[in-house]
């Protein structure tokens, strides 16, 4: 048997999940069970199983026939990808239809594995775990809108509070309202009146989960010329959401900029998703809407981890994996985490918990572009980091990670570096990205990107107020004008007098 490519982590064992929803069916093969799971293969079909279920009580016949053919393909793809385990989850349509049990039995024969038909409570629980796994930390109310149902659940850190399942999935609502948006709004308002937990969400975050809401967020990005096309942790203010949702809820989606990026099968459900979100906002009064790319599938995977793995930081885990796969030395990356932490303290630079996490991740990612031509390392690294499938980081934090790497390669005073990404970072993070990059530019010239040197470097305060970067005498051959010049850049950025020195020997002032 051929070994895995070096582009994959060697200790991972692939597994697959098939998610049978009321509108879509999706196969995802993951590289392995991990805190920050990576997709090895991903495919979906819009089967529309729940179409017409309100009037007939049965799954859509055409959708059932198409699903069975796709299940054969999904089984074959899962086997081809080497998945050692296949988990199949079925939600609202399959559990509620009269012919649901027969459909499940036939699907199990084709897939050759047991299907877990989730109750509304289980679906809400896994959806909540998906949000918990994707944010650091989550605090608010999560809403998972599928084709057949809406799950609402209160989340505070790792604690899962009250939840409710409502028959407000896009296909079901369209069917109940007989294609009338006016009637759909009345139904949504009546059903949401039962969700007493929404009152406890006032001023907190609403986490939007599900394909319909992700497509709405994509349109919102297009309308506002948002510079980063990453869906996870995309934030929409309550005020901005109201105006946008009002337009979509009128059924004018074809006039919305960017609608061509939404499949035609999805477009008809967007007004219903907008109506439901409007009514949630009215009842809840959230401070903002945050989109989660993590849902039931990711929550189910998270539930398979042990307690220690669940507590791991997903951003650091993902950055560690990239460092292992793409950097010259993951040990050097670890040295950089420790050394920059000490350097920040020596310079008196305070960090919040998230800023410390971001610095940690940025150091792990600092060398992932080394194989590119030197002139393009900054651009390539920025693009990889800005668009990576990271969780546990908001968009300003993502900009910090990307800009640190770009400044490290392209120069800390280069104002041409990614202006669209710079616009996402507040001044405080932008300043810290420059400082961190300037420190990296100094130390890489002393280490040649190899481990073992940084632990021997130390910062010392001098009587004249200067701060010295001191090399031990045994490393005196690393002393030179290039690192001294980089130290001068760091001095300019931090407005400090800095000195490059050899223990018991020469020194040069950088400012």
Q: Please tell me whether the peptide bond between 137 and the residue prior to it is cis, using omega within 30 degrees of 0.
A: yes
Q: 131 with 61: CB under 8 angstroms?
A: no
**Count of CB atoms within 10 A of residue 6's CB?**
8
Structure tokens of 355? Answer: 């800023």
Express each pLDDT in 427-441 by its tens digit.
999 999 999 999 999
Worst-scoring range by mean pLDDT, 239-243, 300-304, 380-384? Answer: 239-243
Which phi-psi region, left, alpha or beta, contains residue 140 (left: φ > 0; alpha: ψ -120 to 50)? left
Inter-helix orientation angle 427-447/353-364, to 10°: 40
Structure tokens of 83? Answer: 């998945």
Residue 1's pLDDT band (cuts 50, 70, 90) = very low
Q: Is the pLDDT of residue 57 over 80?
A: yes
Express each pLDDT in 103-152 by its tens digit.
999 999 999 999 999 999 999 999 999 999 999 999 999 999 999 999 99
Pick the more confident residue, 268 or 402. 402
Worst-scoring range by mean pLDDT, 187-191, 350-354, 488-492, 505-509? Answer: 505-509
> What pTM value is reported for the model?
0.94
**What percent helix, strand, coil does the chain show, rounded to 5?**
50, 15, 30
Pick the more confident residue, 264 or 134. 134
Q: 210 with 276: CB under 8 angstroms?
A: no
Q: For residue 91, give Cα distances in angstroms to 54, 63, 150, 154.
A: 16, 15, 11, 20
Structure tokens of 276? Answer: 């439901």
pLDDT of residue 506: 61
What string of H, E and C letters represents the secondary structure of 103-140? HHHHHHHHHCCCEEECCHHHHHHHHHHHHHHHCCCCEE
Q: 65 with 334: CB under 8 angstroms?
A: no
CA atoms within 13 A on the CB side of 27: 25
Q: 455 with 343: CB under 8 angstroms?
A: no
Q: Is the pLDDT of residue 350 over 50?
A: yes
Query: Could you give the CA distance from residue 20 to residue 47 in angstroms, rounded to a whole number?
Result: 9
83-111 mean pLDDT: 96
Which phi-psi region, left, alpha or beta, contains residue 89 (left: φ > 0; alpha: ψ -120 to 50)? beta
Q: Is the pLDDT of residue 364 over 90?
A: yes
Residue 2's pLDDT band (cuts 50, 70, 90) = very low
Q: Is the pLDDT of residue 86 over 70?
A: yes
Express each pLDDT in 203-228 by its tens digit.
999 999 999 999 999 999 998 999 99
């Amino acid at each position: 048997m051929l070994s895995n490519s070096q582009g994959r982590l060697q200790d991972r064992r692939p597994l697959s999940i098939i998610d049978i929803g009321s509108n879509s069916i999706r196969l995802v093969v993951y590289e392995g069970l991990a805190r920050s799971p990576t997709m090895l293969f991903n495919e979906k079909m819009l089967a529309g199983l729940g179409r017409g279920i309100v009037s007939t009580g049965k799954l859509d016949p055409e959708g059932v026939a198409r699903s069975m053919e796709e299940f054969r393909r999904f089984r074959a793809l899962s086997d081809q990808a080497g998945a050692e385990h296949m988990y199949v989850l079925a939600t609202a349509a399959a559990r509620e239809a009269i012919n649901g049990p027969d459909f499940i039995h036939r699907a199990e024969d084709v897939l050759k594995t047991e299907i877990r038909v989730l109750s509304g409570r289980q679906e809400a629980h896994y959806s909540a775990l998906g949000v918990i796994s994707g944010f650091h930390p989550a605090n608010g109310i999560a809403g998972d809108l599928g084709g057949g149902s809406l799950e609402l659940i209160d989340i505070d850190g790792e604690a899962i509070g009250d939840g409710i399942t409502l028959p407000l999935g896009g296909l079901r609502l369209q069917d109940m309202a007989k294609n009338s948006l006016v009637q759909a709004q009345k139904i949504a308002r009546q059903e949401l009146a039962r969700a007493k937990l929404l009152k406890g969400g006032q001023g907190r975050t609403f986490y939007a989960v599900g394909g319909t809401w992700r497509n709405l967020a994509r349109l919102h990005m297009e309308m506002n010329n948002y510079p980063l096309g990453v869906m996870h942790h995309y934030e929409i203010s309550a005020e901005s959401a109201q105006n946008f949702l009002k337009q979509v809820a009128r059924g004018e989606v074809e006039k919305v900029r960017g609608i061509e990026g939404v499949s035609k099968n999805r477009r008809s459900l967007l007004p219903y998703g907008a109506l439901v979100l409007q009514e949630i906002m009215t009842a809840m009064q959230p401070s903002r809407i945050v989109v989660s790319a993590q849902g039931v599938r990711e929550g189910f995977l998270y539930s398979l981890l042990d307690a220690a793995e669940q507590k791991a930081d997903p951003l650091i885990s993902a950055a560690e994996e990239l460092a292992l796969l793409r950097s010259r030395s993951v040990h050097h990356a670890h040295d950089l985490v420790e050394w920059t932490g000490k350097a920040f303290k020596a310079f008196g630079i305070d960090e919040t918990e998230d800023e410390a996490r971001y610095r940690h991740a940025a150091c792990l990612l600092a060398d992932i572009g080394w194989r590119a031509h030197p002139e393009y390392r900054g651009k390539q690294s920025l693009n990889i980091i800005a668009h990576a499938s990271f969780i546990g980081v908001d968009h300003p934090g993502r900009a910090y990670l990307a800009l640190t790497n770009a400044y490290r390669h392209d120069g800390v005073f280069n104002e041409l570096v990614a202006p669209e990404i710079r616009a996402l970072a507040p001044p405080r993070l932008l300043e810290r990205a420059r400082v961190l990059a300037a420190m990296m530019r100094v130390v890489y010239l002393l280490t040649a990107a190899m481990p073992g040197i940084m632990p021997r470097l130390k910062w010392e305060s001098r009587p004249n107020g200067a701060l010295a970067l001191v090399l031990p005498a045994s490393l005196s051959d690393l002393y030179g004008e290039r690192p001294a010049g980089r130290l001068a850049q760091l001095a300019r950025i931090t407005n400090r007098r800095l000195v490059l020195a050899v223990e018991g020997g020469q020194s040069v002032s950088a400012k």
